[in-house]
Every structure is written in structure tokens, then in C-alpha cells.
Structure 1
């Protein structure tokens, strides 16, 4: 039961509309897909969606790291050697979490197919019956964001997350416009993506106290956990850390400093499902609720996150929104209203359209 081949594909998936956050904007989503094949022909799919502002990787660097450093490691190994493979990847190269996530997710897809089980059954089973997914609104004018919010509510979504992180005054207008446009029972979450400093963050949070915001996410720079602690101390609402947590070591530092109420786990930051489980366990020990976030992944990364999210009680929310933002995807992800549907197939449950991958790929390498 050994791995004999790894295929690496680089492509861009088109977005329905540009996605704008505080530090960048995207007209399409560059992704890297990995296909790991066994000697008996069984194969698994994984995905990397790097973000140079968060993971320190680019599309080009991930392609090179996978081809020359990480993919060769798994040749000849058993896909169930997940601990050993992560150890070897970490010994080979520091960081590069989304590249490692692509390998990790493909291994879990393989393990599920070999055992004829969905991945969630391999990591604890369903901790809840279903997952509800929000819709995310990127940075626009306050009026445009309010219009988007109305449309989303009419489409049946019960939770909205808005991107902010420009100047404080306009961000206050954005939050107010969206809250005024939707019923109070619709949950509202705010993500600054590191866009504020400490004073601006406190000002925005104080001036939107009546807007019923569930939590404010990553208000300041990822490394500034001291400011995050001060913001949390004076905030009426919960503070979530996202870009500031990529590993268990960083989470321990945040817990010790009491800098956040919640943590956003992303497979692309953590290095895949296996290390994400460790982050969730440490957060659980500290009583810190978790969310499984997204880098706007395709069906592959989205369903990998979904299997993780449904398997742990401490993971209380998710933002598995990639398929809702893409105009073309490698497989369909089914939603019933705002509930994500599991296809109950082995592995990740994704049936990749390999013809679409071949059509869109501008880079392809095979490692044997």
C-alpha cells in the first residue's frame, strides 16, 4: 500500500465578482491541486491556496516547493503514515503551510477511499448533525454592502460576515449600513484582516456597540497580540484571532497572554487537517471556541475544512464559502439554503472534474 505518483497542477479559478479585503483584491483565485496516486490506482486530491500576506507563500513558490521538496517525500510511503509524513515535511522545510496542506488533504482523501469512509469518520465522526455557512461581503461602499446584505438574507442565509479594515470612519458606516439593512436576528460578523491599529479598532468597536456584532476578527496586525489583548479587555464583543495563529505554538502564546476569545483555524495556515486537529485540541483545553475559515478554496479545500469542522464540538462556526464565490469549480458543493450538504462518499467526497483541471491548468508536473 504505497504511493507511486504525485501530480501537481497550477490553475486559476474565476470568481463571480472581485474579492476585496483590507490588504489585497482578487479577480480570480490562483490555486494548486495535488493528486496522489497509489500503486493500485486509488488516488486522493488535495489543494493549496497560498496567501503571501498570511502564509508567506505565493502560487509560484508553492508549485516549486511541492515539485522539488514535498511531493518526493511521500513516494514509496503508506498514506496512513500521516504523523511521519508531517514530520518529514517539517524537517525538509520550515513553514510553507498551504503546500503541506495540499499533501495532507490528499492523504486524508486517500485514507477515506481506502477504508471506504468519509474523512470525518476517521477523525472523530460527526459532532453535530450539519454545518451552516455564512455569506461573506467584500469591501465596497456602505450602500453597496447593505444591498448585498439584503440579497443574501433573501437567499436564505442567516449569517453575514463583512470585510472592513480601511479607515475607521468608513468602516463604521459600513457596519451600520449592513446592520440597518438586515433583521436583528441575522447574525453579523466583522473582519478587519489586520487593517486597523489599536486606537482605530477600539474606536470602531465602541461606535458600533449597538450593531449586534457577534465578534470582530483580526482587528490589528497578526503579530501584535499585545494590542489585541488591550482591545479585547475594553471590547463589549468577542475578539477572534485569525492571521495571528498558524500553529500550536502561536496559539499557546495567545492563550497565555489572554489576547483573544476565539480562534479562526484555516487548513492553509495550519498545514492541513492533521495539524489543525492539534490546534483545535489546544483551543478546547483553554475553552476557546474555534472557527474553520477559508482562503476561498475550491470544492477540495472546502470539503476538507467541512470534514474537520463537523468532527469537533469546539469548532462552533465556519466560513466555507469558496464554492459560493467561484463561477467555475472542480466539483459541485451542494447547499440547501445555508446548510452545506455532505455527499457521504468515501474520502473528502469530491469527484474532481479532471477535464476542467486540464483545461484551466497552466502548470503541471508529475513526480514519481
Structure 2
């Protein structure tokens, strides 16, 4: 039986600027505000799918920015997509990937919107399109990134008391290595066994820096080191992994599924950070996870500090993984001062709870989004029930 042709009629891209609850300090930038890139795909059957392609720190982190995502989708993707069959998201994305290079975040946003629409059409949660969820909750770590030791300790204590997070990742790499190590060790000592501490260096160190720090982290009980050196240095990551002082997680090195294959073949990490935007979409992220599982490499559900759309899309996919040993980092909406949903995502008992409705299972608050969007002159064009 041939599936009905359901045309893609329109694609809208919105930039929504939302202040952060506090400065979020990375090795490459400090974020005081997050720009959510929301993509709305309207279909001829009346179904509307939503996706998100949000980045971290603009061009300081990667080759795409919120502005480039918007321009490239509107200029290149949209003319190609209009009229294509929305009921065949895999075929649509294959065409898109075949014609246009790179643009992983933009492709992720469009693909998420297409799969959201398709799941709504079928009356099932998005997770059912990727094998079906195994769990209704995913554990969520919290990132401590103020850069102030006392403030970070207080923040972690508050999260533990509220039973919202018990795993803490520290963003380091912007200061001298010895200062970063002292900062991390002090926080771990303050939390003791009540909270797990991990670090993310965002490629800021040399290999010798990482070796020196890893010994001290191991002695202090730090549980994981994420991307300590340059993503291109597969040999260096492999040597750090083989030292076995602290488990090593690959993140920026996993730009495409092909990178996952290369890293797995050489056993260049103990853990893979799976990110839907970094992998070019849900399909790419699922491939990265499959490669890791086949190579007996552990999984971690990563984030690009997306808002509610990218976060819950990631959670739908992560819920289908056979094992998510290192949990997730899907705290993005909690870092923002305002929510874009009529009913916020549910964070309780150290976990994020997945909704059960069709598609992404969430409802956007368009009045609030319209108030925060950068260009408000087209607000009426994205109003939805």
C-alpha cells in the first residue's frame, strides 16, 4: 500500500532569546543568555511538527550559530523541503543530507520537527519511532559552571536537598590547570559520597595537563573526565583512556556517526556523549549509540543546553537505549529564567519524566515565545492552537 502524500507546506524559524539564571562559564565562552532556535514544519494534513537547533556560545563553540541556522534553513533547506512528503521523514532527510554539507544543528532541528509531526500523525510518542522507550525517566546531571568554588558548593547542596540532581559536572578549562584541579577537588570533598562529581574540559588542556590532573582527580574520587584535549587528537584520547586513572568521555570528537566508528575501532574513550544536534539529528545520534553499544562503550545522554523542545526530543531517544550507564545532562530548560511550555517538563527525584502524549508530547506557550523572540513582526504567522 502506497502511503498518502502529505506535503510540507511551510517552515518557520524563530530565534528566542531567554536569559540564564546565572552565568554559565565554559572554557570558550560565558553564557548569560541562551538563544533557542525553534523550527516549525507545517504539513498539508494540518499537523505541525517542532524542532530545535540550539547551540552553545555561538561561534565560540562550533561552526554554527543561531543566526546561521536560521538563514541556512530559510535560504537553502526550506525551498527544497516544500512540497516533499512529510510522511516520509527518512527520505526527506536523506535528500537534505545528500545535497547540503555540514549544518548538523540545522538538520537536527528540521529532522526533529518531521519526526514530531509523523509521531503525532500516528498517535504515538516520538520514542516509539525509534524502537520504543525502555524507561519513562532518565537521570539528569546538573552542571556547575559559575566558576566560584563556594557558590558551586552551595548550588550543589541546594540541588541535593531538593532531590533534583545528585550528579554534578564541573565546567573547567578557562583557568590554570592547578587552579581548576583545586576547584574541583574542593567541591568533591565538600559533597563527599552524597554527590558524584565529573568534569568537562571542552578540549582546553594538553595531554600532559590531562595526565597531571587525572591522577589528582582519581585520588579525590572524581568519576569522569569529558573531552580533556583536542577532539582531533584521537591518539591522545586513546592514551589517556589506556591510563585508566579516570574514565574518559568523548564529546566534541563525535561530530558524525563516522567519528564514533573511528573512535570505537581504536577504543579511544570509555564513554560516548550522545547528542542529537551534534550528530546531525535523531537518526545520527541513534547510530552513534548503536556503534558504542556494539563496541561495549558506555553511553551518556548529552545536551547543547537546548530548551524544552530539544531536551524532550533527546529524552525520547535516550529512553530507547538498552543501557544509559552515565545518565543524561538534560537540564537545559532549568538553566533558563522562563519556560516556553504551557506545562513545564517534570524534573523530580533526580530525573526527567517523559510525557506520554503523541509526538514530543508537549505544548508550547506561544504568547511567551512571541514576547521573547528576536523579530516579533511575524508573531501571527506562528500562532498555533
TM range (shorter): over 0.9
Aligned-residue offset at 1:4: 0.9
Partner Cα separation in structure 1 for residue 60 and residue 88 of structure 2 = 31
Aligned-residue offset at 1:36: 0.6
- The equivalent residue for 2:243 is 234
Corresponding residue to 2:38 among 28, 33, 44? 33
Corresponding residue to 2:80 among 73, 84, 88? 73
Which string of whole-angstrom CA distances, capped at 9 and with x for unpartnered residues, describes residues 142-196 of structure 1?
A: 2332222222222212211111113211111111111111131422211111111
- The equivalent residue for 1:324 is 334
Deviates more, 1:299-308 or 1:34-43: 34-43
Matched, 1:141 2:141: no
Corresponding residue to 1:92 among 92, 99, 102? 99
Deviates more, 1:153-162 or 1:236-245: 153-162
Relative contact order (C-alpha < 8 Å, sep 6+): which is higher?
1
Matched, 1:267 2:276: yes
- The equivalent residue for 1:202 is 211
Aligned-residue offset at 1:114: 0.4
Aligned-residue offset at 1:53: 4.2
TM-score (structure 1 length as normaliser): 0.95
Question: The residue matched to 2:169 in structure 1 has which SS?
Answer: strand
Aligned-residue offset at 1:38: 1.1
Which string of whole-angstrom CA distances, capped at 9 and with x for unpartnered residues, describes residues 296-349 of structure 1?
A: 111100000100110111433211010110111211111113221222111011
Aligned-residue offset at 1:91: 2.3
Partner Cα separation in structure 1 for residue 186 and residue 158 of structure 2 = 14
Deviates more, 1:100-109 or 1:351-360: 351-360
Aligned-residue offset at 1:210: 2.3
Number of residues of Structure 1 aligned to a counterpart in Structure 2: 367
Unaligned runs of 5+ in 1: none
Aligned-residue offset at 1:278: 1.1
Question: The residue matched to 2:369 in structure 1 has which SS?
Answer: helix
Question: The residue matched to 1:208 in structure 2 has which SS?
Answer: helix
Task: Let me know the Cα RMSD of the aligned residues.
Answer: 1.7
Corresponding residue to 2:23 among 15, 18, 43? 18
Partner Cα separation in structure 2 for residue 325 and residue 213 of structure 1 = 24
Matched, 1:160 2:168: yes
Partner Cα separation in structure 2 for residue 254 and residue 130 of structure 1 = 29
Question: The residue matched to 2:278 in structure 1 has which SS?
Answer: helix
Unaligned runs of 5+ in 2: 1-5
Corresponding residue to 2:372 among 355, 360, 364? 360
Partner Cα separation in structure 2 for residue 4 and residue 47 of structure 1 = 19
Deviates more, 1:116-125 or 1:49-58: 49-58
Deviates more, 1:240-249 or 1:66-75: 66-75
Corresponding residue to 1:338 among 350, 353, 373? 350
Partner Cα separation in structure 1 for residue 352 and residue 235 of structure 2 = 36
- The equivalent residue for 2:264 is 255
Greater per-residue strand proportion: 1
Partner Cα separation in structure 1 for residue 46 and residue 259 of structure 2 = 39
Question: The residue matched to 2:120 in structure 1 has which SS?
Answer: helix
Deviates more, 1:95-104 or 1:204-213: 204-213
- The equivalent residue for 2:49 is 44
Aligned-residue offset at 1:256: 2.3
